[in-house]
Amino acid sequence: MDYPDSVQFLYALGNEIRTAKLGLDRIRAVLDALGRPQNRCRFVHVAGTNGKGSTCAMIESGLRAAGLRTGLFTSPHLAQPTERIRIDGEPVDAGRFAAAFERVHLAVESLLDAGAIDMHTTYFETVTAMALVIFAEERTDKVVLEVGLGGRLDATNVVRPELCVITPIDFDHEAFLGRSLESIAGEKAGILKPGVPAVFARQRPEAAPVLDARAEKVGAPVARTTGWQIRNLELHPAGSRFEAGQPALFIDCPLAGEHQVENAVTAALALRCLGISDSSIQAGIARTRWPGRLERIFERPEIILDGAHNPAAARALAAYIERFYGARRVRLIYGAMRDKSVAEMGGILFPQAQEVILTAPRQSRAIAPEALRGLVDHPNLRVAAHIEDALEMPPGDAVTFITGSLFLVAEARAILAP
């Protein structure tokens, strides 16, 4: 099966959120059939609601700066599924992706024929198995593995890591994880393993006791970013500079937004726990790239992409706009999925803009802009069927933020930076 065929089959399995089947029996059976590739890798396992992708990217960059051969597994992708599986910072090529898919798919079909599993692995389960096969074949020194959904029953939770990391927990995917922060935190805490060290980012008061109780129950020693005082913080539109830790690390974070300070501290603390030198930590974080998150994609006119897809991410984006663009005219192009808290996010973001254009990514789960119009309010509201139509509307002297869904960000990025 070639790359286009493998991608088409994956997409035919259905949207990875809407068709998610939480549970570990199926993925374990498939990995057993594949020779348990996860047992040949060393993992940093990262869960959380917001910032886990950025934190993973910074940890991986720090490991690579230390001279290690790295694997990185993240989701979702922006342009191509190959972006989810990276070796030494680079996406695997299409041929390697297709070969891994073929191997996993044949194992799944064999198990189905034998009645050993109840259904074909989901999109996310399949790509997780593919990633673990590739990381084992590539003889990686360290793999940074991002949880897809929750943690306790996520397909990535088949590994025994050498370090667990939990980034800030907030509301998202409540239909799967529960409608309280305590319930969501309980699912995220499910990645903690007996005796395996953990790093906890600063947490909301409802979430922190749940994580602490789980860590105590399984005997996981915990390092917390609350113990790292941040000093001499300088925020600028393209990132931040600060000191943290003892002895002091001088961190130059190239990811924009005040929320990335906590992510950078979490990554730095994780890297120290892994025994990485301070010079490699500093160099690695400074070289991190994470597209689609407060990414300035165009200068004239100024256009910034940010996949703020839940209320906490919307608050971070609103704070960024207020801090650095409060004196500018702001235009917001917004599109979201039906299962998101769009009214809440609109209430957070839309007051920061003088003009709002509602649109929709080309996804079956997207909320139509006309329906979105009935859920949000703004004195200067317009509708565009798709991102191409929105970008054709002259911005005047406004800075444009494109946000609400990573799918929308991906479509915009494909147009503006092909």
φ/ψ (deg, to 5) at 43: -120, 150
Per-residue pLDDT tens for 126-153? 999 999 999 999 999 999 999 999 999 9
Respond yes or no on whether the N-terminal peptide bond of residue 291 is cis (omega within 30° of 0): no
Buried b / exposed e over 95-104, threshold 16 CB at 10 Å, is: ebbbbbbbbb
Per-residue pLDDT tens for 350-372? 999 999 999 999 998 899 999 99
- Measure CA 154 to chain center: 14
Contacts of 184 (CB under 8 A, 6+ apart): 49, 150, 169, 170, 171, 172, 174, 177, 178, 207
CA atoms within 13 A on the CB side of 36: 6
pLDDT bracket for residue 1 (50, 70, 90): confident
Domains, the chain, ordered by start: 3-286 (3.40.1190.10), 295-416 (3.90.190.20)
Q: Could you give the CA distance from residue 203 to residue 119 in angstroms, rounded to a whole number? A: 37
Q: How many residues does the chain have?
A: 418
Which residue shows structure tokens 């949880």?
Answer: 147
What secondary structure letter does DSSP report for 158?
G
User: What Rg do the C-alpha atoms of the chain give, in angstroms?
Assistant: 21
Closest to 414 measured CA to CA, from 404, 396, 402: 402
Identify the pLDDT of residue 340. Answer: 87
How large is the average pLDDT for residues 70-98? 97
**Are residues 268 and 59 in contact, defined by beta-carbon separation less than 8 angstroms?**
no
Residue 412 has pLDDT above 70, yes or no: yes
- How far is residue 178 from each of residues 117, 175, 185, 336, 348, measured CA to CA in Å? 27, 6, 9, 21, 23
Please provide the average confidence, as pLDDT, over all residues in the chain.
Answer: 95
Per-residue pLDDT tens for 252-291? 999 999 999 999 999 999 999 999 999 999 999 999 999 9
Amino acid at 151: G
Contacts of 94 (CB under 8 A, 6+ apart): 3, 82
CA dihedral 179, 185, 186, 187 (to 10 degrees): 80
Burial of 217 (0-12, 13-18, 19+ CB in 10 A): exposed
Identify the pLDDT of residue 16. Answer: 64
**Are residues 350 and 377 in contact, defined by beta-carbon separation less than 8 angstroms?**
yes
How large is the average pLDDT for residues 233-240? 97
Label the pairing between strands 230-236 and 239-244: antiparallel
**Are residues 16 and 124 in contact, defined by beta-carbon separation less than 8 angstroms?**
yes
Q: In the chain, what are the helix, strand and coil shares in percent, each to the nearest 5?
A: 45, 20, 40
**Are residues 360 and 367 in contact, defined by beta-carbon separation less than 8 angstroms?**
yes
- Give percent of the chain with pLDDT exceeding 70: 98
**Are residues 363 and 336 in contact, defined by beta-carbon separation less than 8 angstroms?**
no
Q: Could you give the CA distance from residue 1 to residue 268 in angstroms, rounded to a whole number? A: 41
Contacts of 133 (CB under 8 A, 6+ apart): 34, 37, 100, 103, 104
pTM: 0.94
**Are residues 104 and 133 in contact, defined by beta-carbon separation less than 8 angstroms?**
yes
Q: What would the two tokens of residue 296 be?
A: 């300035």
